[in-house]
Amino acid sequence: MNTHLPPQERERLYSLIREKLDLSDAECPEGIKDTTMVTELPGVDSMKLLRLLGAVELGFLVNLGFEAILRVQTVQDVERLICESREQYASRP
């Protein structure tokens, strides 16, 4: 199973995270990386995380499910969930 997005989609994910969590470059000077802990980003709370995951579902045309909020710790977790959802629905007849 592929758990990584192509570079262009990964950048789109990072941009979506910055937008939905209202992050400026000053708040996240080192930038967003795979290992970035989403829950430790400035100003993140459960509602912002829920809105982010909803935006990811719409932006990447995937269904992450309600349990996704419990499974997301890092940016790489979000990426993995996107890939898992795509693979799950691609394997359906």
CATH at 30: 1.10.1200.10
The per-residue pLDDT for 52 is: 94
Q: 19: which 2 tokens? A: 């937008």
Domain membership flag for residue 2: no
Domain membership flag for residue 66: yes
Mean pLDDT of 56-76: 93
Q: What is the pLDDT confidence band of residue 93, given thresholds at 50, 70 and 90? A: low
User: What is the spatial distance between Cα 79 and Cα 37, in angstroms, rounded to a whole number?
Assistant: 13
Overall domain count for the chain: 1
Instruction: Write out the residue range of the structural domain in which residue 76 sits.
Output: 7-90
- Quick: pLDDT tens for 15-46: 999 999 888 776 676 788 899 999 888 889 88
Domain membership flag for residue 1: no
Domain membership flag for residue 33: yes
| Cα angle 45-48-52, degrees, rounded to a multiple of 5 | 135
Domain membership flag for residue 43: yes
Quick one: what percent of the chain has pLDDT higher than 90? 58
Residue 91 above 80 pLDDT? no
Q: Output phi, psi for 45, to 5 deg.
A: -135, 180
